[in-house]
Structure 1
Amino acid sequence: MKIEELSEEFDTSVKVSEDGHPQLQSQPNANIPPPADLLTQAMNAISSQYTTTSAQDGTQTPSLPPGIASMRDKTGPEILAELNKSPLFMTELEENDDLEAIRALAYEGTPEEVAAGFKERGNECFAEKKWKDAKEFYTKGIQVLLLEVRKRQRGDSHPLASTSNTDATPAPAGSRENEPPTMDPKEIKNELSILETTLVNRAACHLSLQNYRSATLDCAHALRLNPSNVKAFYRSARALLALNKIAQADDACARGLELDPENAALKAVAQEIIKKNEQETAKQKKEQERVIRKRKEEMMLKTALTARGIKTRKTAQPPEMEDACIALVPDPLSPESSLSFPAVLLYPLHLESDFIKAFNETESLALHLEYILPLPWDQQRVYTPNGVECYMETITGGLVKVGKKVPLLKVLGQGNVEIVDEVVRIFVVPKGRSEEWVAEFKRKKAAEKKT
């Protein structure tokens, strides 16, 4: 065991009470502020390690390093927001030139070389029909070059050079070394050329992946760099044609052919556009004819109903009947055609019903009762063609008896009944209970009018 001798200054530097425990000086607890958040406490703890003498009163006040002093008066959330701007402490990614520069450092070479490398990798994947992988490589190359464009627009120095040479000695004030380095025009031209080509290549990937809108955007950006890029016009025309934007596709194709009249790919697209335009024109013409015919049919039907004195009414919530409707048959446009109505037979005493899709105006109710009755649920066999009475509700809420051998037109043309939501409603009641049901129906209607 090694024993070290304590210096004589030790007992003067440490004062111990008689009971062997260090004496703690009590501090007044008046006006103690409430505890701050953890970040503020940490900042206060650091501030206690740095003191300086005030020039006015000679008191000792906290003095922080410049980096920490800038955050001295900020709250915890504000400090976190500042830290998130630094790539080292980021918890969320945002558009940040410093971050992009650090990403670029992962690849050796100038931005032009890095972007060219990504483009070549993308070309290799594209040749193997790996569209998604090719698109990713093209996107990385575009990001590298767009970072350079943003830097030049602000007049900043080369991002890779400024990031990698962090230990360089600053040049004296007024020296030309402090000025942002001027880019070689040839280097800028090469970068923009690579950016243009990569955008057009990525547009080809979008076409293969059927991302047509993205393809048009990439072609538009490429044409801003070079308005004479024939491939951009070609791929833009193809994407616009796939989006059924025929006029725009035709414009893009025409502009491309102005630059290269013998371009076989553009000629092929031009033929596709012509064919598509013919199809769309025929489709539009057919739709217009359908609309005109429907309008004529509606007008003819309305005229036929008015001429026969048949009243109709629609409610806010008509029933679902698929294609069943009032119509002139066999020719909706012929004045010699007869009217056909959807009809429903209601059995109110048993809460059942039957639907007749087409009840012609010349037909009688007996014609339909013959094949509908007897009913499968009628165990007592009270519903027979000769054993039932039929009624229709009038406009005023009463009832009118319908003769079973009378044509439907004669019943509807009396003017005291109406067709609601294009459906003829007929109540079917056994003769033995018809008077009872009619009285109950009138009683309910009278009660409804009072309320």
Structure 2
Amino acid sequence: NEGNEYFKEKDYGRAVAAYSEGLRRRCGDAGLDAVLLTNRAAAHFHLGNYRSALNDAIQAKKLKPTHLKAIIRGALCHMELKNFVEAIAWCEEGLQIDSKEKKLVEMRAKADKLKGKELEGTFLGTQTDFSSRRKCQGRAEMGTVLLCERNIKLVLEPSDEEEEVSDGLAEISLDGFHSDSATGAKVHLDADGSLSWPVLFLYPEHEQTDFTVAFHENSR
């Protein structure tokens, strides 16, 4: 109840904490735990913590496979994370439970429309105004130039063999920078020449993580 009150007041941070406390008590009721996880997923979602919200929705669905609110929340998270194939799968799973659920019907159509499209403004996209620059320089060279302009230094994982690294950056391209997330997010070159990076946030005190697909380099 406390978490619900915080949620109604749009105090989503405290709502997350309250739902987490309820889960820590481990009442042993799978149905109640599924509700708490779904509610915490909703709070995380409103905070923009889509990865954390998705994890909660997944756990809630495991506890109660027919919990429609958890399925809807999970589908919404996949939409925000640009996982359109997964969003479709979640929508179809929910529609097997309720074929007339409006949110799922509409989301399924939207996800199907967006599936397969590249994110706007990607490095290889056609909407940037850097086509002439790409023709003059290889992608590897261009990636190096963009990083040097920003004074960004990379730390490469060590290999078993010693290698010269002074000229190594000449072989780097932006589409080589990607996360290990299931989203396969990469560094994007936006139309204005700025970069957006995939970023993983760690919250050790809460034992939570969150993943942002595109974090603009000028964000503060």
Q: What is the TM-score of this pair, normalised by structure 1?
A: 0.27
1:220 maps to 58
| Pair 247,321 (structure 1): closer, same or farther in 2 beyond 3 Å | closer
Task: Name the CA distance, whole Å, in 2 between partners of 1:224 and 1:230.
Answer: 12
| Pair 121,288 (structure 1): closer, same or farther in 2 beyond 3 Å | closer
Q: After the TM superposition, which residues 294-309 of structure 1 pair with which residues of structure 2 at under 5 Å, given as runs?
A: none
Aligned CA RMSD, in angstroms, stands at: 3.2
**Contact 2:30-2:64 within 8 A present in 1 as well:** no
CA apart distance, 1:289: 7.6
Of 17, 32, 38 in structure 2, the residue corresponding to residue 136 of structure 1 is 17
Q: Does 1:234 align with 2:115?
A: no
Q: Does 1:251 align with 2:89?
A: yes
CA apart distance, 1:288: 7.9
- Aligned residue identity for 1:223: K
Of 2, 5, 8 in structure 2, the residue corresponding to residue 127 of structure 1 is 8
CA apart distance, 1:203: 0.4
- Aligned residue identity for 1:123: N
- Aligned residue identity for 2:3: G
Q: After the TM superposition, which residues 169-248 of structure 1 pair with which residues of structure 2 at under 5 Å, given as runs?
A: 188=28, 191-248=29-86
Flag the structure with more relative contact order, 1 or 2, with Cα contacts below 8 A and sequence separation at least 6: 2
Task: Name the CA distance, whole Å, in 1 between partners of 2:23 and 2:126.
Answer: 50
Please list every run of 5 or more consecutive structure 2 residues that lacks an aligned counterpart in the other structure.
Answer: 147-220
Deviation per residue, 1:254-292 (Å, 9 max, x gap):
1111111111121232233134327x25969xx5889xx
**Contact 2:84-2:115 within 8 A present in 1 as well:** yes
Task: Name the CA distance, whole Å, in 1 between partners of 2:107 and 2:16.
Answer: 24
Deviation per residue, 1:110-166 (Å, 9 max, x gap):
xxxxxxxxxx11111111211111111101001101xx5xxxxxxxxxxxxxxxxxx
- Aligned residue identity for 1:194: L
Please list every run of 5 or more consecutive structure 1 residues that lacks an aligned counterpart in the other structure.
Answer: 1-119, 149-187, 302-316, 323-451
| Pair 142,321 (structure 1): closer, same or farther in 2 beyond 3 Å | closer
Task: Name the CA distance, whole Å, in 2 between partners of 1:214 and 1:139.
Answer: 12
2:177 maps to none
* Percentage of identical aligned residues: 28
**Contact 2:30-2:63 within 8 A present in 1 as well:** yes
Count of residues paired in the alignment: 133
| Pair 212,283 (structure 1): closer, same or farther in 2 beyond 3 Å | closer
Q: What is the TM-score of this pair, normalised by structure 2?
A: 0.53
| Pair 230,289 (structure 1): closer, same or farther in 2 beyond 3 Å | same
Deviation per residue, 1:84-115 (Å, 9 max, x gap):
xxxxxxxxxxxxxxxxxxxxxxxxxxxxxxxx
CA apart distance, 1:321: 9.8
2:149 maps to none
SS of the residue corresponding to residue 195 of structure 1 reads: helix
In the TM superposition, structure 1's runs of 4+ consecutive aligned residues that sit over 3 Å from their partners are 281-284, 287-290
| Pair 132,258 (structure 1): closer, same or farther in 2 beyond 3 Å | same
CA apart distance, 1:204: 0.4
Task: Name the CA distance, whole Å, in 1 between partners of 2:8 and 2:82.
Answer: 28
